[in-house]
Amino acid sequence: MATKSAKSQAGKRTARNSRPFWERGYFSHSYWKRGKKLGTVKLGPKGEWDGVYRWEAGHHIGEANNLATAKRAVEQAVDFGASQMGLFDTNA
């Protein structure tokens, strides 16, 4: 029985690593996949926040009125391949 649970745990880890996920941070939310940050939604400083969520993904940036809209914009930018290619990347 121990091997079945170990296999199911390993399967869950690989599924988690292969799909992008949101991680909540201090005044920000980040979109990750396999240890690489794909995008970010940020708030302003605590005392100075103007109610606007600022997001960036790759070389695209924008603003939104609520968190759900900002996250959706980041996901859409990532889905359509908005990340900028590295100029000096030797892995290509």
Residue 31 has a pLDDT of 96
CB 27 within 8 A of CB 53: no
Residue whose entry in the numeric block shows the structure tokens 């690489």: 36
Residue 71 has a pLDDT of 97
Q: Which residues of the chain have pLDDT under 50?
A: 92
pLDDT per position as a tens digit, 71-88:
999 999 998 875 555 566
Residue 44 has a pLDDT of 82
Which residue ranges make up each domain of the chain? 20-79
Residue 49 has a pLDDT of 85
Residue 30 has a pLDDT of 96
Return the structure tokens found at 88: 């000096």
Count Cα neighbours of 35 within 13 Å in the Cβ-side half-sphere: 2
